[in-house]
Amino acid sequence: MAYVFLEHRSSLEHITASRPASSAMSVNPEQPTRILAIERELDARDWCGFERMQAPPVERSLLTAIHPESHVAEIERFCAAGGGHIDDDTVVSPGSWEAALHAAGAGVRMVDLLLDGYASSAFCSVRPPGHHAMPTQAMGFCIFNNIAIAAKYAVEVRGLERVMIFDWDVHHANSTNEVFHASNNVLFVSIHQSPLFPGTGPADDVGEGAGVGYTVNLPVRAGSGDDVWISLVEHVVVPLAFAFEPQLVLVSAGYDAHLEDPMADCNVTDAGFSAMAHAIAATCRELAAPVGAMLEGGYALGTLARCVATTLEAMSTVPDRNGGAAAPLARDARHRLAEWWPQLTAGSSARSW
Ligand SMILES: [Zn+2]
């Protein structure tokens, strides 16, 4: 099976250059240069064995499965009228409409390629990012929630019963959290810095109704580095995956938890992202679940590009999963989550984590 890299030139036509004079940062960090930096790095690495494909625009009906038609139409009109600031962070230009359609379409096409058996792994390098885009409110650089649209398509159109979304962007995915809050078809797991924008995602937000236990928030303090992040992946995220047995794993792949990223205060290194990507890729292989990643944040250009390449390398090699002992934060999370996931109770599983 192939490894597929989805992209589209419209990602470069979403122009966010200006910010209000009142803003703390004079230049919006969510720029087309992010995509170009990734392209340059991957080109130098022969695309890590990935096949490049063009992302189609999303069908309107799939967009409106998450975002009401009135909101979608308002975004379309605003872009066509020349665009401007939706808030301090979130800016659109005339080209943003096509970019947003292709960004969401990348995720849907990725799901088809993975479920139809064409690809075992895929990565969508598109913008605008998506995980903050609430159903009726564009925010946090995000217009539409690309990964939520993809996951909902996988469940409602492709008929999957178990989709796992793992979000390793340093910011909490307030929108993804909300969209699947009451769903037990989608297990949403997020590691994020707290406190930090957008301020959501406490550990005690575990979902609601039938979805209780299927929202897993793993907040970490500023300054958290490889030890904390990798431990949470190996001792919480991976065991959850084995307990849930997803038919598809989607990763909201942001790289702003990196030590060199200007937007947050975590200290993950290239090696940390490599370890997390290897752990997820190895788990998906063991579970025979295809895995697709969508670009979210990551604003230090060289760092972003290197870490995307690292992710692709992990997805396209046969990795080993051999983690260390659980850090205290991971042990606490396992204890807390055992109420819904008894497999996480130490000693109750034949597997050793
Ligand atoms: Zn982020």
* Ligand 1 (single-atom ion) residues, CB below 5 Å: 169, 171, 254, 256, 297
Backbone angles phi, psi at 163, to 5 degrees: -120, 135
pLDDT, residue 193, reads 98
pLDDT at 350 over 50: no
pLDDT at 347 over 90: no
Mean pLDDT calculated for residue range 134-149: 98
pLDDT at 185 over 80: yes
Contacts of 195 (CB under 8 A, 6+ apart): none
**What is the CA(171)–ligand 1 centre distance, in A?**
4
154 close to 183: Cβ distance less than 8 angstroms: no
- Core vs surface per residue 69-100: b (16+ CB within 10 A) or e: eebbeebeebbeeebeebeebbbbbebbbbbb
**What is the CA(129)–ligand 1 centre distance, in A?**
9
**What is the CA(130)–ligand 1 centre distance, in A?**
10
Is 132 an annotated catalytic residue?
A: yes
**What is the CA(77)–ligand 1 centre distance, in A?**
27
pLDDT at 313 over 80: yes
Name the band, by pLDDT with cuts 50, 70 and 90, for residue 17. confident
Lowest mean pLDDT among 80-89, 103-112, 144-153, 343-352: 343-352
Q: What percent of the chain has pLDDT over 70?
A: 93
**What is the CA(116)–ligand 1 centre distance, in A?**
30
Backbone angles phi, psi at 66, to 5 degrees: -110, -45
Angle, helix 69-80 to helix 96-115, in steps of 10 degrees: 130
Residue 34 host element (H or E): helix 33-44
| Pair of tokens at residue 2 | 């192939």
pLDDT, residue 351, reads 45
pLDDT at 31 over 70: yes
- 3-state class percentages of the chain: helix first, strand second, coil last, to nearest 5: 40, 15, 45
Residues in the chain, overall count: 353
**What is the CA(146)–ligand 1 centre distance, in A?**
14
254 close to 303: Cβ distance less than 8 angstroms: no
Average pLDDT, the chain: 94
Q: What percent of the chain has pLDDT over 90?
A: 91
pLDDT at 172 over 90: yes
Q: What are the structural domains of the chain?
A: 2-21+29-344 (3.40.800.20)
DSSP, res 326: P
Contacts of 189 (CB under 8 A, 6+ apart): 164, 165, 166, 167, 216, 218, 236, 237, 240
Catalytic residue among 14, 131, 132, 181: 132
Name the band, by pLDDT with cuts 50, 70 and 90, for residue 22. low
| Pair of tokens at residue 116 | 């139809």
How far apart CA 310 and CA 305 sit, in angstroms, is 9
**What is the CA(3)–ligand 1 centre distance, in A?**
25
Residue (of 1, 37, 41, 127) closest to 310 by Cα position: 41
| Pair of tokens at residue 214 | 């299927």
How far apart CA 273 and CA 66 sit, in angstroms, is 30
**What is the CA(118)–ligand 1 centre distance, in A?**
30
pLDDT, residue 346, reads 65
Dihedral (C-alpha) 273, 277, 278, 280: value to the nearest 10 degrees?
Answer: 140
Backbone angles phi, psi at 7, to 5 degrees: -150, 170
pLDDT, residue 21, reads 57
246 close to 216: Cβ distance less than 8 angstroms: no
pLDDT at 145 over 50: yes
**What is the CA(298)–ligand 1 centre distance, in A?**
7
Mean pLDDT calculated for residue range 242-269: 98
pLDDT, residue 317, reads 86
Name the band, by pLDDT with cuts 50, 70 and 90, for residue 352. very low
How far apart CA 323 and CA 300 sit, in angstroms, is 28
